[in-house]
A and B are shown apart, each in its own frame.
Chain A
Amino acid sequence: MHMADALISPAVGGTMWVATAGLIGYCSKKIKEEMDDRKIPLMGVLGAFIFAAQMINFTIPATGSSGHLGGGMILAILLGPHAAFLTMASVLTVQALFFADGGLLALGCNIFNLGFFPCFIAYPLIYKFIVKDRLTSKTLTFGAIISAIVGLQMGAFFVVLETVFSGISELPFATFVMLIQPIHLAIGLVEGMATAAVILFVWKSRPEILQSSIASQTGSEKSIRNVLVGFVVATVVVGGALSWFASAHPDGLEWAMFKTAGVEELEAPEKGVHTSLAALQEKTAFLPDYGFKKTGIHDSKEFGESWPAVDPGTSVSGLVGGILTLCLAIFIGFIMKKWKSAHV
């Protein structure tokens, strides 16, 4: 399912575009460095292949309904993560422009949901881990199915996050998650089986293709990827779960204020720059006070000062805040690197 422009707010769309643009820039740089001439036509033609393959509907064995291939995993297996991400991004761009499948602002979200998770998370962490160097029927099948399922689950989860944070749709977080995740579990299973079957076909008829694609993906980027993975895992743990354990007691400044003035926060003046900036901040904060926006519609049950404050809003905001910060940091890092190399 592709995100539509109608359900996105500019803040969410803009953020995801920044992340996607950063990733596109990073992958382009990697492709240029690789200097493998053969990859350029290969990426283009494989992109066209995925586009065509997405239009071939097959009947799913048990149910009788029809499905089609997504393609992220096959691209990642054949091309490696960077080239596969660019190829997937190009396929989605063509779909957005010609078939209006997901709007132009939502294109950033769609490329991230359908490209980042299969290529940079499911492929290196799951598929490669399962397959390693043992190319057998079992490892290929198992690897493809599990990575397709995980990639699609994460993509679907991010669709929910993007919709909920935009605030245009009234669909509550829990309902949306419970609707979308099981559907995408089934879709992921089908995609995994289709990917596994096609890869097995290719492997059985021309094994050298898979072997050469593994050989062409050098292991030099392993170290940086391990570091990145470590960061991501740490961010998820801290933002997701440990944020519940954030102390409910006032922090140092608030404690000092309370002791001296009797209030924990100063009242802002009625007029002036403060109020206009505060109003701006209120408008742009999509996770006010580290939780979901408490709209007037839902009766907000006060969780009180219970500890640990198990609030899905807090953990999601912790997660999202962490991921956004990480993406921003990586993006700034690349900008700085580029600036440095241009000024050497």
Chain B
Amino acid sequence: MTTIENSLFDIRHMDTLASGHSRLHKIDPRAKLITTMIFICMVVSLGKYDISRMMPFVIYPLAMIIAADLPVLYLFKKILVVAPFAILVGMFNPLMDTQPLVQIGGFSISGGWISFVSILLRFGLTVSAALILICLTGFNGVCLALEKLKVPGPFVIQLLFLYRYLFVLIEEASRMIRARSLRAFDSKGLPFSVFVRLLGQLLLRTLDRAQRIHLAMCCRGFDGHIRISRPMIFGYREIRFTFSWSLFFVLARCYHLPMKIGSVIEGYFL
């Protein structure tokens, strides 16, 4: 499968996951969105050299994955695919920061390596939180949550339209690419001139399609205002979900929980 078809499959798969039936799926999207944002903010606000302090935060993605039965390997592969940029930039930390920070046995570990590991952990946590949000809520849910949270109407409408026509356009583009590659005998990639013509054709078809869509909307009574309606209840379950997770994140951020646990265990056995 080419990249285009892969990504189409990807989006469709995540959409299917979002229409699951676990308890977490039924929670109002606003609660999940707010919890995810607080999670990301707390993780990102940790210091450069914090590794053990990040450990309690691993509970959130794990709990979500287990409770909603999400495919772990699939999510892990997605995280790996986007890791390169963070790794590339983070790689300079061990090179630049060589002062030893930690002594374990006979080895001293420099601050650079610690901050590098911290970056990787941070990356894994934040990316998995975002992916889990989509897997549990679905894109339409997120857009409706945004609309209820007072994000400007035109932007939400743009997101919904984009999502709706994403599939149409990706399929059209993949058909064009496939048709061309089946007719190309020495296919060493797509030459620039061919690309320009392909894309230009796609653009012209897109503009025509936009006009047809507009006419179809007018035929069905479009008057310039788009009304979004979906019953969304932010009830006791949502408040409990958001409040308890947010409290946990804030506590984990402010107090060094692993150290406290470690000292309790030390006090017991030593």
Taking beta carbons and an 8 Å cutoff, which residues of A are in contact with B? 1-2, 4-10, 13, 24-25, 27-29, 31-32, 35, 37-38, 40-49, 51-53, 55-61, 66, 69, 74, 86-87, 89-91, 93-94, 96-101, 103-105, 163, 167-172, 175, 193-194, 197-198, 201-202, 205-206, 209, 297
> Separation in Å of the A19 CB from the closest CB of chain B?
15
CB <8 Å contact, B206 and A28: no
One of A7, A90, A96 near B119 (C-beta < 8 A): A7
CB <8 Å contact, A163 and B157: no
CB <8 Å contact, B169 and A5: no
Q: When each residue 177-219 of chain B gets 1 if its CB lies under 8 Å from chain A and 0 otherwise, what string results?
A: 1000000000011111011111110111011011101100110
Nearest-neighbor residue (CB-CB) of A45 within chain B: B210
Listed from nearest, the 8 A-B pairs whose CB atoms lie closest are A44-B161, A201-B200, A28-B152, A6-B123, A58-B195, A5-B126, A170-B96, A59-B189
16 contacts between A and B (CB under 8 A): A4-B123, A10-B44, A38-B210, A44-B161, A49-B169, A52-B170, A55-B7, A58-B191, A59-B190, A61-B192, A98-B10, A171-B96, A201-B203, A205-B200, A205-B204, A297-B99
CB <8 Å contact, B196 and A170: no
Cα of A40 to Cα of B211 in the assembled complex, Å: 10
Interface residues on B, range: 35 or more
Q: When each residue 140-178 of chain B gets 1 if its CB lies under 8 Å from chain A and 0 otherwise, what string results?
A: 001000000001111101111111111011101100010
> Separation in Å of the A293 CB from the closest CB of chain B?
12
A57-B190, A69-B199, A170-B112 given. 14 additional CB < 8 A pairs?
A5-B122, A6-B44, A6-B119, A7-B89, A37-B214, A41-B217, A51-B170, A52-B202, A56-B190, A59-B188, A87-B162, A105-B41, A198-B196, A297-B97
Which residue, of A9, A98, A198, A209, has the highest number of chain B Cβ atoms within 10 A? A98
| Interface secondary structure of B, over-half rule | helix
> Separation in Å of the B222 CB from the closest CB of chain A?
7
Nearest-neighbor residue (CB-CB) of A206 within chain B: B204
Cα of A193 to Cα of B199 in the assembled complex, Å: 13
| Interface secondary structure of A, over-half rule | helix
CB <8 Å contact, B154 and A10: no
> Separation in Å of the B25 CB from the closest CB of chain A?
16
CB <8 Å contact, A9 and B44: yes
Interface-side segment among B64-72, B131-139, B240-248: B131-139
Please name all residues of chain B whose beta carbon is closer than 8 Å to the beta carbon of A202 when the two chains form the complex: 200, 203-204
One of A5, A47, A57, A209 near B127 (C-beta < 8 A): A5
- Given A4-B123, A55-B3, A99-B7: A25 and B92 interface contact (C-beta under 8 Å): no
> Separation in Å of the B254 CB from the closest CB of chain A?
14
Q: Is the CB of B37 closer than 8 A to any CB of chain A? A: yes
Q: Is the CB of B4 closer than 8 A to any CB of chain A? A: yes
CB <8 Å contact, A53 and B99: no
CB <8 Å contact, A41 and B210: yes
Which residue, of A42, A66, A194, has the highest number of chain B Cβ atoms within 10 A? A42
CB <8 Å contact, A105 and B44: yes
CB <8 Å contact, A38 and B48: no
Interface-side segment among B55-63, B78-86, B228-236, B256-264: B78-86
One of B122, B130, B206 near A104 (C-beta < 8 A): B130
CB <8 Å contact, A52 and B158: no
Please name all residues of chain B whose beta carbon is closer than 8 Å to the beta carbon of A43 when the two chains form the complex: 158, 161
One of B40, B118, B152, B158 near A87 (C-beta < 8 A): B158
> Separation in Å of the B160 CB from the closest CB of chain A?
8
